[in-house]
Amino acid sequence: MLRKILTVAILAGFCAGLIISVVQEFTTTPYILHAEEYENAGVNSFDGITNAKFIQASVILIDSGHGDGEAWGPSDGMERSIFTALSNVITGIGFALLLVAAFALYGRETSGRTGIIWGIAGFAAFALAPALGLAPELPGMMAADLVARQGWWIMTAIATVAGLALMAFGQSWVWRIVGIVALAAPHIIGAPHPESIGSAVPPELASHFVAASLVTAAVFWATLGWFAGTFWSRQS
């Protein structure tokens, strides 16, 4: 069983990671590259901003991935594209392990179609719900402390998974109500936000990036769910 789980997760994560790397080049990449020009130039105008650079792979997780201060990064061009694809594949395998483990615990027949449903649930837990409190961020935008954001994101993902599971598989209305409370709890507590808001990145660019990020994440999770469900059924 363990070998089956690992095999399916690696295959599904690899395929979904490569596909989403291509999709990102036409969805979130242009926005991130444009925002990096504003971040590097430190201006508030569209004039003279050209030459896109690098996309962060963590768009899948609904975050721009930019850190505080200067950090090492791969050089422009092919090296950055390879590192981005590698990061997407590793992320895909990690999430595929969660999906396939859920298939095993579920214990019923799973196909590509049912895998998409599980993938949509993953999108809701790991992308959509966290985005309600922490919208996708472009490079150069102000953000709260990284540790605080990561802690809230983890709490929200766990609470959403638990809430969806209780609502879907709960044997009584009591458990379903508990599931609803679990879904709402992280948002009642509230996500961490910076003391002041503002950046050199135009708000129109940021809003388009939020929409593109969510769509990209939805494509990733639907694709991952389909691959995981299909490979799982064939292994069976």
65 near 57, Cβ under 8 Å?
A: yes
Would you state the structure tokens that stand for residue 66, as one six-digit string? 């930019």
pLDDT at 73: 58
97 near 66, Cβ under 8 Å?
A: no
Instruction: Tell me the mean pLDDT in the region 131-150.
Output: 86
Give CA–CA dist 217/86, Å, rounded: 17
Global pTM? 0.82
Give CA–CA dist 14/42, Å, rounded: 37
31 near 138, Cβ under 8 Å?
A: yes
pLDDT at 68: 44
Give CA–CA dist 80/179, Å, rounded: 41
224 near 9, Cβ under 8 Å?
A: no
110 near 103, Cβ under 8 Å?
A: yes
pLDDT tier, 231 (very low <50, low <70, confident <90, very high otherwise): very high
Q: Name which of 85, 34, 30 is nearest 60 in CA terms.
A: 85
**What amino acid is encoded at 206 in this protein?**
A
pLDDT at 122: 96
Give CA–CA dist 88/56, Å, rounded: 10
pLDDT at 49: 31
pLDDT at 191: 92
Give Cα separations from 46 to 100, 141, 197 (angstroms): 46, 16, 20
Give CA–CA dist 89/30, Å, rounded: 21
pLDDT at 41: 66
Instruction: Tell me the mean pLDDT in the region 226-236.
Output: 91
Mean pLDDT is lowest, of 29-38, 166-175, 176-185, for: 29-38
pLDDT tens digit sequence for 38-93: 767 654 433 333 333 333 434 555 444 444 444 555 665 677 778 888 999 999 99
Residue, of 36 and 90, whose pLDDT is higher: 90
The full length of the chain comes to 236
Residue, of 201 and 59, whose pLDDT is higher: 201
pLDDT at 156: 97
59 near 35, Cβ under 8 Å?
A: no
Instruction: Tell me the mean pLDDT in the region 113-128.
Output: 96
For the chain, the structural domain boundaries read 2-139+205-235, 144-193
pLDDT at 75: 62
Give CA–CA dist 175/167, Å, rounded: 7
Averaged pLDDT score across all residues of the chain: 83
